[in-house]
Amino acid sequence: MTRWLDEEQQRAWRAFLDAQQVLQRGLEAQLHDEADMPHGYYELLVRLSEAPERRLRMAALAEAAVSSRSRLSHAVAQLEQRGWVRREACPDDRRGQVAVLTDDGYAALAAAAPGHVEAVRRLLVDRLTPEQLRQLRAISEAITRV
């Protein structure tokens, strides 16, 4: 009954799994070593830094960073601890919380970014042709598409 993967599909899947591991491990290690933050936190800082006034509702931030609510809660608590983010009450919804990137948080992001971008290049971008990068985008969007 099960539609197993054929040889071709199997190979592609395995190759992808391995690549994903290598990539993720590499990025995580670089950020940990040079900026002392996990990749997930970096993503949060990025999304916040790009938001108007550097602030976002928790739910919006969670969606932007493809994160669960729970994960975000824990992460923001940690970021607040470090002084990189602060929480504010949401004016028009008393349930709501708004995460705001502090100046220190922005500085931490700015300090981490060059090394991180270099790692992204070294591990991914510079290894692919422009054509492959376009393909990767199309593939990724097919995966994400609802």
Partner DNA sequence: CCGGAATGGTTGAACACTCAACATCCTTGT
Partner DNA sequence: ACAAGGATGTTGAGTGTTCAACCATTCCGG
The binding site for DNA (CB under 7 A) comprises 25, 28-29, 32, 37-38, 40-41, 57-59, 62, 67-78, 87, 90, 93-98
**Given the rule CB under 8 A, which residues bind a copy of itself?**
1-5, 8-9, 11-13, 15-25, 43, 66-67, 113-114, 117-118, 120-121, 123-125, 127-128, 130, 132-145
Contacts of 134 (CB under 8 A, 6+ apart): none
Q: Which is nearer to DNA, 90 or 139 (CB)?
A: 90
Cα–Cα distance list, 94 to 24, 41, 51, 134 (Å): 38, 26, 21, 43
Task: Choose among DNA, a copy of itself, none what residue 18 binds, the Cβ cut-off being 5 to 8 Å by kind.
Answer: a copy of itself
Residue 50: C-alpha distances to residues 3, 30, 47, 56, 88 (Å): 43, 22, 5, 10, 18
Closer residue to DNA in complex, CB, 29/128? 29
